[in-house]
Structure 1
C-alpha cells in the first residue's frame, strides 16, 4: 500500500469483518459505493471471495486482483477452494484454537491459527520473529466466513489479475491456477513465496496491482 500511495494512488485497506461472506461483502460494497471514479479491487486469501461478491454490485470496480486468494463461483464456499493438498486439509483440532463469540450462528466459532501452523504453513518465508508477531496479532475469522456459499462471481464480467505464489501451502498453486484459468485472469506466478508473499515480497505484488491500474486509465 505504501508504494501505491507514494505513486500517487488513493490506496485504502477496507476493513473485512470476517464474520460471513454475504455480510462481509456487503460491508465492503457499501464502502466502495462512497468512492467516485474507477476502482481496482484487491483481495488476499479469503478476501478474494469477498471482492468476488462485493464487486458485483459496484459498477465502478473496473479490475479485480487476486493475491494468493480464493475466487469462488456462485454456490462455492471458500473452505472448499484451498486444494486437496493444502495444509488446511488436516484435522481442524491441530490447526486452530476455536473460541465462541457473542451472537454467533448455531455451531459457528471464531478460528485462530495455532502458532506452529501460522509460522510453518502460513508464513514460512518470513523471519520467525516476524511470523510470530503476526500470529500473535491475527484477527479471528468465523467458521461461517468459510462455509457461506458465494452469491456472485464478479470475475465473470470484470477483468482480473491473479498473483500465485508457488510456495503457498494454504491455498495451493494448483487450486489458484484452476480458479485463475476459469476467470480468464492475467496470471503471474511468483517462484517460492508463501501465503504471505504480499508481506515478504511486496514489490512483486505491487507490480501486478500496478498492471491492473494501468489497464483502467
Structure 2
C-alpha cells in the first residue's frame, strides 16, 4: 500500500503556516503533505469544505490531522470525502455528537471561558454575516499569556497580528456523528494548554479510545514541540502504510 498522504487542518486564529515545522519534517520523511485552509466560517461549511478538499485533492489513504477547532472539523469531515484511515488530534477538541466548543469549554477552566468575553476577545462584524453572528479575534494579551505562551515573543506577535478570526456561530454549532467512532485516533495533549485544559483533552481522548501522548507545551505545541506531533502522525501512518 502506498504511504498515506498527511492532511493538516489548522484551528481558529491560525492558518496553514501553523503547521510549517511539522509539514517540513513530514516532507523530509517522504510523506505527501497538504495543509488546506480551514474557512472558520461555521462547522457545517468548514467540514463540508475539508471533505470536498479530501475528495478532490487526495488519492489513496489519508491521515487527517486537526489542531484546536480543527479537531471539530476533522471529526465531521473524515467520513465525507477521501480515504481517511486515521485521525490525529493536536491540542484539539474531540467532540461527541451534539457537543459544541462553548459547551466543552464551559466550566473547564479554560482561559477563554470567562464571565466577560470582552476581556479575552475582540469581536467584529463581517460582510454577509447571519443575524447576530460576528468574528472573534484574540486580544494580543490572550495570545501572549494563554494561547502561545511558550513561543518567543516575536512569534507570539506574529500570531496576534496575523490571526484569522473564527465566527461565533462556529463555536456554537453542534457536532455531528464523530468519525473517531469508526477510525483509530491519536492525540497529543499539551499539558500547559490554557485554551483547552489538559484534563478536558484527556477526557475526550479517553472517550475516543485514542493513543495519547503528552507534551509540556502550550495550545500550539505543534509549533513549540513539533517532534511530538510528528511522532504521533508517523505512528498513525505506520498502521496503514
What's the TM-score once normalised by structure 1's chain length? 0.97
Offset of 1:71 from its aligned partner? 0.9
8 Å Cα contact 1:77/1:146 also seen in 2: yes
> When the two structures are aligned, how many residues end up with a matched partner?
216
Q: Is the 8 A contact 1:44 1:67 kept in 2?
A: yes
8 Å contact from structure 2 (residues 59, 82) kept in 1: no
Equivalent residue number for residue 94 of structure 2: 71
CA contact (8 A) 1:65 1:212 kept: yes
Task: After superposition, give the CA deviation of every residue in 1:137-160 in whole Å (9 maximum; x if it has no partner).
Answer: 000111111111112200000000
Secondary structure of the 2:227 match is helix
Contact 1:53 1:153 in 2 (8 A): yes
Q: Residue in 1 aligned with 2:8?
A: none
Contact 2:62–2:82 (CA under 8 A) maintained in structure 1:
no
Would you say 1:84 and 2:108 are equivalent positions? yes
Q: Give SS of 2:30's match.
A: coil
Which residue is equivalent to 2:44? Answer: 22
Tell me the residue number matched to 1:54.
Answer: 77
**Match of residue 177 from structure 2:** 152
Deviates more, 1:170-179 or 1:71-80: 71-80
Equivalent residues of 1:25, 1:53 under 8 A apart: yes
DSSP-derived class of the 2:91 partner: strand
- Matching residue of 2:4: none
Alignment equivalent of 1:101, drawn from 114, 117, 126: 126
Aligned to 2:155: 130
Which whole-Å deviations, capped at 9, do the CAs of 1:48-98 have from their partners, x for residues lacking one? 000000002236100000000001111111222236211011121101111
Q: Give the distance between the partners of 1:79 and 1:211, measured in 2 at CA.
A: 31
Contact 2:51/2:82 (<8 A) preserved:
no
Aligned-residue Cα RMSD (Å) equals 1.0
Take 2:36 and 2:102, find their aligned partners in 1: how far apart are those partners? Answer: 22
TM-score, normalized by length of structure 2? 0.88
Which string of whole-angstrom CA distances, capped at 9 and with x for unpartnered residues, describes residues 19-49 of structure 1?
1001100000001012110000000000000
> Could you tell me how far apart the structure 1 residues matched to 2:186 and 2:126 are?
35
Q: 1:201 aligns with which of 218, 225, 228?
A: 225
Q: Find the counterpart in structure 2 of residue 183 from structure 1.
A: 208
